[in-house]
Structure 1
Amino acid sequence: MRLLILTKHLDCLGQNDAAICNGFRRFGCEVIFGEINAIAADDYRYFTRGVLVQGNGEPYHPGSAALGNRGAYFLDECQLIWVLDMPQDSMARDVWQMLWLASQHTAFVNSIEGMMFLDTKHALGYVLPKENRAFSYISNDFSLLWKRYQQSPDQWWVAKPPNAFCGQNVFLLPPNGPNVRTILQCLTGNTVAQDEFDTAGQFGYGPAGFKAEYAVLQQFIPEVAQGEKRVIVACGKAVAWHGRRNPPDDHRSNITQGGKPISVDLHSGEIELAELIGRKLMTHGINFVGIDMAYPYILELNIANPAGLYDAKFTSGIDHSDQVAELIIAHFEKHCHPGLGRGPHHCQ
């Protein structure tokens, strides 16, 4: 089997890039690293700049450069493609369109449709049972969110963009908070101020263009204070997990925002919930996901390059990349490419 891993930087591999490459290589698979922002077409046949990884080289580590034969590699010459990073905003629409077209002929670990429509906070209400998600309002109308906040004077809230990651612009809103109005205005595009300058109207139309932005107003979950857990689910099976402890001066536990990975156990209820979600996502072509959990609540689904394998190894000392590779290979040999090999140890 030839696996193409689409990533952003060939000279600085991410945590998942390195771990997944190592796991698949140990099963005898051929691995190519390709640049997601370099997707192109030759008479509507899609290719990218990439590196064919040396067969007997040393294992990769996060931050390594991809070593091997650099050149152009066609997507339809690979049996499996794994998108492990998001394209740049300025070209995202074109990249997603070409990848979707490529996916009509080549298997993707995570479907393009799933990455586009389920890797967002909008999707929580669809994927999760009601009892496992926090009550939320979503709007680009500041006045609606402000009204909802005022209607629950004793409630703590969290406000954030629906399509941001790594803890960006996540605010904890206390009851009667002096900055809440400002924060909600900011998250929805400051259309109140834009009205004054642009005569833009309620939603920010005017000479400067449309300014309104969506925001999520979500009830704060007290269970978060006990710590969050990141659970990696591959083909519906929970394979790796770690806890995250937020720094003393921040309510966010994201590793990128100063949170610390810690070793934790999962009880049977947490495993059952994670695998239930994983199986539902598989019906939409999502076979690898990172689930943020403060049981019994799910806080977020991370589909595009969910970190967790490296941190789980760091905290537990156990490398789960082989288990991930085995599950993915077996799934696609069974469901998409039965002729590729004689089992997960015989990739061709």
Structure 2
Amino acid sequence: MNIAFLINQTHKESINFTTTLLAYKAHKKGHQVLYIGLADFAYHNDFTVGAHCRILNITETVDNEEELLANLRSKKKEFVDAKHIDVLWIRYDPVLDMISRPWASATALQFAQLFKRQGTWVINDPDKLLEATNKLYLEYFPKDIRPKTLVTRSYEDVIYFLDQQENQIILKPLKGSGGKNVFLLKKDERHNLKQTVEVIARDGYLLAQEYLPAAANGDIRFFLLDGLPLMVDNKYAAVHRVQQKGDIRSNIHQGGEAKIADIDASILQTVQQVSEKLKEDGMYFVGLDIVGDKIMEINVFSPGALLYANTLNNIDYASIIIDDLATKLKHRKSS
């Protein structure tokens, strides 16, 4: 299959990214890999929609993820019609270009919708991703699995919400990722609250959530594939992310440590409450961030940390995903 990965920009990709791992496994399995940046789409007057792609051909040899990225970065872009792309996999981070290229994310989603209407299988579904461009997407799911939440730009709203909680709350951007601008606020430590709210609200809405005591032990990044837990040899594709001492963020690239995740019945019950809707929404590959029996975030654009799940469990989940994708694509074409 011809599989295109929609990313922010090729030079911003890293060998540790889940996208890089998936692309490498796809290439090793004999599939043609294309990289499309947010600014690479084109719509021609003859109703042709496509993109200027960096292409790693099937016949080329790369021996690891570093060589894959070096190969793609060296390529001159070639225009490819959407009709010649079997799968467009949306794997960009909307936040990365929010300031420098505010037009990029929204326009890319519109192009992805055009690809879908041309017959390309687009994952995750761009029509539903429009509902999931920020953390409010979590509010579409059952109340039982969500922490108490406030979304606002008002300092007074935050004060009221804080007063309703037992001890402390978490403040973070509504549209954000990677643990940036995440603050823990205690009831008796309000001297910098107004400035904190102003910092977060400078770029949009802020999200306040109740603090869950279980968060002191980190969180679980849990992967779903087409609505089902990704599991091989009775090992779930999941990572227990533990924050550094004195930090509230479990994100690995913010200093968090990846450990083997202990997946119990409570976690599986929590996952089950969201799996059906995620499948209905066309969310093929999803990363859930779970604390206790609550889901803190549903990552549907570019969920990461799959490399750590691979390494910790000694399971090649990425190859399983690519094989599943190829099988489902074959079924789609024959039906």
State the TM-score, normalizing by the size of structure 1. 0.82
The alignment partner of 1:337 has SS state of helix
**Residues 81/182 of structure 1: CA separation in 2 closer, same or farther (3 Å cut):** same
- Taking the aligned partners of 2:247 and 2:240, their CA distance within structure 1 comes to 16
In structure 2, what is the equivalent of residue 29 of structure 1?
31
What is the rounded CA distance, in whole Å, between the counterparts of 2:268 and 2:31 in structure 1? 30
Aligned to 1:45: 48
Name the Cα RMSD after superposition.
2.3
State the AA in 2 paired with 1:41.
Y
Report the Cα distance in structure 1 between the residues aligned to 2:276 and 2:325, rounded to whole angstroms. 14
Q: In the alignment, is the contact (CA less than 8 A) between 1:3 and 1:80 conserved in 2?
A: yes
Amino acid at match of 2:333: H
Query: 2 CA distance for matches of 1:143 and 1:252?
Result: 25
State the Cα distance separating 1:107 from its structure 2 match: 1.3
- Tell whether the 8 Å contact from 1:142 to 1:184 is kept in structure 2 after alignment: yes
Given candidates 83, 89, 97, the residue that maps to 2:90 is 83
Which residue of the partner structure matches residue 337 of structure 1? 333
CA distance in 2, matches of 1:12, 1:138: 31
Q: In structure 1, what residue type is equivalent to 2:62? A: E
Name stretches of at least 5 consecutive residues in structure 2 with no aligned partner.
231-236
Say which of 176, 181, 197 aligns to 1:169: 181
Letter in 2 for 1:94: T
Equivalent residue for 2:65?
Answer: 61
Once the two structures are TM-superposed, the CA of residue 295 in structure 1 deviates from its matched residue by: 2.6
The question of whether the paired residues in 1 share the 8 Å contact of 2:41 and 2:108 is answered with: yes
Other-structure match for 2:222: 231
- Deviation of 1:243 after TM superposition, in Å, equals 1.0
TM-score (norm 2): 0.85
CA pair 64-79 structure 1, distance change in 2 beyond 3 A: closer
Determine if contact 2:174/2:204 at 8 Å carries over to the other structure. no
The percent identity for this pair of structures is: 20
Q: Aligned residue pairs: how many?
A: 314
Q: Deviations over 1:283-321 (max 9, x none)?
A: 111111111111311111111111021121232332211
**C-alpha displacement of 1:26:** 4.3
Q: Match for residue 233 of structure 2?
A: none
Paired residues of 2:170 and 2:209 also in contact (CA < 8 A): yes
Structure number with greater Rg is 1
- Residue 73 in 1 paired to residue 80 in 2? yes
State the distance in 1 between where 2:304 and 2:147 align: 23
Aligned to 1:9: 9
Contact 1:26 1:322 in 2 (8 A): no
Distance 2:238 2:133 in 1: 19
Distance in 2 (alpha carbons) for counterparts of 1:22 and 1:49:
20
Alignment partner, residue 220 of structure 1: 211
Cα distance between partner residues in 1 of 2:199 and 2:4: 40
1:209 aligned residue? none
Q: Select 1:125's aligned residue among 131, 139, 161.
A: 139
